[in-house]
Each structure stands twice: as C-alpha cells, then as structure tokens.
Structure 1
C-alpha cells in the first residue's frame, strides 16, 4: 500500500506536469474502486453525492462534519489513488475554526481538499472579501504544517449562488493565490471564453467543474483553454440516480426488464472489488 506521503507527492506531481488531468468524484468505497479500476490518476469526494446517499439535499452543512470526514476516510482507504476532499466551508465562519478541517481531513487519509467562500446563509451567501481571504490564509497555514504536501484548493462560489460577477470572482481567486492556495476553483463557469479569462488572470492551476460547463465542451477544449484539472462534482452520482429512476419507471409502468441488458456483470464487480 502507498503511504499518505507518497499519495500526496503523486497528487502534487499531477498539478506540476504539463497537460490536463481528470479527477472524477466517487461517493462511496464502491464507486471509488470502480473509478480507480478505469485508470484515473486521482479522485475527489463529492458533498452532493454523499448527501444524496444519505437521502438529503446537497447544501452547505447538509452533512455533519463527522459524516463528511467519515466519507473522506471511506473513499481514501478504498484505493491506492490520491484523494482530494470537498470540505464545504469548513463548518465555521471563523478562519481558524474553519481551517481545522484541513488537519482532520488529512487525518482521515486525504491528501488535498477545498474550502469554499459560501456561508450557507441565503441572506448573505458569500463571505465578505477580506474574511474570505483570511479563511484561505488560515487553511494554508494548517496545510503547510502537515508532514506531507497537502494540496489546498480555494473556491470562489459566486456563480453557484446567483452572483455571476466575473470581476469579483477573479479578484477573489487572485487574492486566494496570493494567500497561498495551491489550486483555484470557481464552480459554475459554463463557457470557454469565461474559463479562458479566469485561467489567464490567475497564477495557479485552475480546476473546472463538469456538470455546469456546456456539455458540448470536451476535455481537449478545456486543455486548450489552459485548465489543469477537471472534476465532475456530483454529476456521476446524479447520472446513477437517473439510470436507477428510469429503470424503475420502466419496471413499474411497462413491466419491462430490458434495462437488465445494461447492468454491470457480477464477474466485473468481483474483479473490481477483489481485495
């Protein structure tokens, strides 16, 4: 088994080499092992996928901190791949209290993680600029104190919360980079022109979220735009639920079992899950 330090160095190297890489998002040990078996080089957790598996609506703090960390531990221990974690907003407004989740996530086995600038309060959905930067700086301090190179991602959430302000988003990402963030992430960007402007404006690798991006955009398009990393968030989880829903409707309404032709053979599952 690879050590956590080895996984951390592997993950950092993916960001330092040339070209783009894809980091899909499992939501449990089974999907982590499935994605690892397909040749991906890193994985990331998804708060939406985890919340859905608990029968809950995704949102800041829809999961308890303990539930989120347990999911990190489950996924990180399921494969030899490096895992980065969606750590919500750190479960606190105060910078030092929020930053503590970096240490706890590292103890759970992940080698990277993101903290967002969303408050979870619909009346003020995004932290004020100065506080958002202080929160990133605090998270960076905790990450740098770890005994391995933890890759910290800072997220600017404007576009997910009804604030499609590109200038403010870029300003925040630039400040997050200056505060020491290793990777920058503005989920909710849809078009290539906007993505190019973000990549050109910031000095750190940029993560782009599939699920919000125009589905006509491809990996080569994003690579050409200068994107370093692609994640899918809860998109694969939502696809899985859609497939189950449609098969169940066919069973209920048409008495059809045709969907059985598309199921994964049990022998393949045995191969994927073999210890």
Structure 2
C-alpha cells in the first residue's frame, strides 16, 4: 500500500471510531467520482451495481447449475482497483462472500483487495444456495478470522466488516445478533445486518452488538433519515445498489419512451456535457 492509500485508509478507520456517517455505493469510476465530488468522506462499491454494469446478475440464490453469470473475483478486483486508483477519498469494497467458501479463499480475497487499494471490505455469510442460504456459523466465524489474519499480515489499515444476511433470508433477529457478535469477536471491525430497516430492530441491534453497526438504506425508500439513524446509535449507513437501480430505472424508462413513442422528453433533466466535463476534470 503506497503512502496515499495508507493515509486514506487511516482516515477510513477513524470514521468508524465515533459518530455516524453515510457511505454511498458506486459501481464504476464515474459514479464514484460523482459521489466524491459532492463531499462524501468515503465511497463504497456495490457488487450489484458492478454486476449490472457488466450485464450480469448480482450474487443471489442460484439453481442446481450453480451461480452462472456471477462476476468472478478477478473481474471484481479489476473494478475495485480502477475505482480506488481514481479517488482521493477511501474506498470500501463489497466482497460478497469472499468469492469462495474456504477460509483460505476469503483470506486471499482480502489480500487482493488490499493490493487493489481498498481501505475496507465486507465479507458476508450468504451462500446463494436455497437449501443452505447461510454458511454454518462456525465456518462463518472461521472465514472472518481468516480475513482478519490476512489484514494483520499485511499490516495496513483496513476496516473489516462482518455481514450476516440472517434477516434477508427470513431468520430471527436473535440469530442475527449472535452471528454479528461472533464475527466481531473473530476480528471484524464493524457488523453489517442488511434487512434491519425499522427503528425497533435497529435499536435492538445497536444495544445488543459489541461493536459498530452498519445498516443499509434505500432498498425501499425507507422513512428513516440519517439523523434518525444517528439518534439510534448507528455508526455507518450504506445504500447498496439502490443508486445504481435508480439509474437503470431511468435508462429503462428512456429506452421505452424512444422505442414506443419516438419522443425525447427523457432528456429534459439530463446533466449538461459541460457540467460533466467540469466534474470529471482534475484541477
């Protein structure tokens, strides 16, 4: 890790010490630069947005043929490296399940992520297998422990996030608390529990977890604001693939207008060429 990346990574670690901050999710250099330009202190990637930008499905439940079409690790690392190399703020990477079940695979993924210039990354326990939607808890802990060891071996600042998808697959809150605390005990710096979207659930997690909590907003236009989440004690707020999905909604609506009516009203709210050039031009 070069000196610039180290300084950014140190800043990213400090963001997790206290308070609450919003960490929006980008999918390519352009989207990341837009988020950087409006003043966010750090940016994250979204595996969904990266997959969609490549015309691929996101990591999700798969059939008996396996996860066909899923973005592979090398492709994801290239995208992470491209984004990290163009930002002046820290980048955190959505690493899905670490691109493999074995703890050794997860450790290798973390090492590659550090080499790509990221200042943090998530490892989740979702498998994509409907018969076994989550990795067994003991294995999940070993995977986080292996990720922590890879960070420690590198010796670079890095925020390791342990993500549990218990709530997303219909599991109980007490299991989400237990798993998140186990991941924190195994070396995660922050716990991430997607699916926690109401004040009661989030408040319980903040009280019961032995470390900082990340929640994801924007999945359904949730009524809770950043100020509400700060009051509840949340440390970090991400938005997942919601910005990317909003962009693709506009793209689809624009395409349908062109195909069905041959009109061009979609262009009324576009950003000007000059404004985009100015935004992306390095001073």
Q: Of residues 59, 71, 94 in structure 2, which corresponds to 1:63?
A: 71
2:11 corresponding residue in structure 1:
10
TM-score by length of 1: 0.95
Q: Of residues 270, 274, 278 in structure 2, which corresponds to 1:267?
A: 274
Greater shift, 162-171 or 208-217, is seen at: 208-217
Q: Does 1:187 align with 2:194?
A: yes
What displacement does 1:213 show?
A: 5.9
> 8 Å contact 1:2–1:80 — kept in the other structure?
no
Partner SS, residue 77 of structure 1? helix
Distance in 1 between the 2:262 and 2:105 partners? 54
1:112 corresponding residue in structure 2:
120
Distance in 1 between the 2:166 and 2:218 partners? 16
Greater shift, 216-225 or 57-66, is seen at: 57-66
Q: Of residues 204, 207, 221 in structure 2, which corresponds to 1:197?
A: 204
> 8 Å contact 2:219–2:242 — kept in the other structure?
no
> 8 Å contact 1:190–1:212 — kept in the other structure?
no
Q: How does 1:234-245 map to 2 (within 5 A)?
A: 234-245=241-252
> 8 Å contact 1:42–1:83 — kept in the other structure?
yes
Change (3 A) 1:256 1:2: farther
Number of matched pairs: 273
1:222 corresponding residue in structure 2:
229
| Cα RMSD after superposing both structures | 1.5
Greater shift, 24-33 or 1-10, is seen at: 1-10
Q: Does 1:252 align with 2:259?
A: yes
1:33 corresponding residue in structure 2:
33
Moved over 4 A (4+): none
Partner SS, residue 120 of structure 1? strand
What displacement does 1:2 show?
A: 6.5
